[in-house]
Structure 1
């Protein structure tokens, strides 16, 4: 699955971007991971229309001195990469 990111809005305390080619199985875990950050004020996924395959993600932080919204998103994506890598390793131990 090829995914692309399209930046829609970037302000001091918030960011809004679109992930083209990602469905809810990618977007929802990312939102959940973003919401674990105590500096996150708001994080949500927006699907403009049910027939449109891309989701928009909006993230706002409480204090940019603590962390910028784009940093929070990158950290959450890295955490998911680690978690799914661990899952892949566990699944690889299953004997056929």
Structure 2
């Protein structure tokens, strides 16, 4: 339901679907890049045993935090941008 009590239009539902897809895809990409940057050296090079075990764990934790943060930030930003402007005021985009 929208703010004015009616049902969402097909265009609004499509916009939400596209934004969710964008949030998930961009978050997966960012998480993979961070995981590769942090854990990559442990997988490619001969490092001390402790470091070889620690880097993938740290990379996975950072990737998970980044994934969640990216999804939340994209969806919150979308939610704020889709709010109607106040009646009688000029929108900054006009």
TM norm. shorter chain > 0.5: no
TM-score w.r.t. length of structure 1: 0.37
TM-score w.r.t. length of structure 2: 0.37
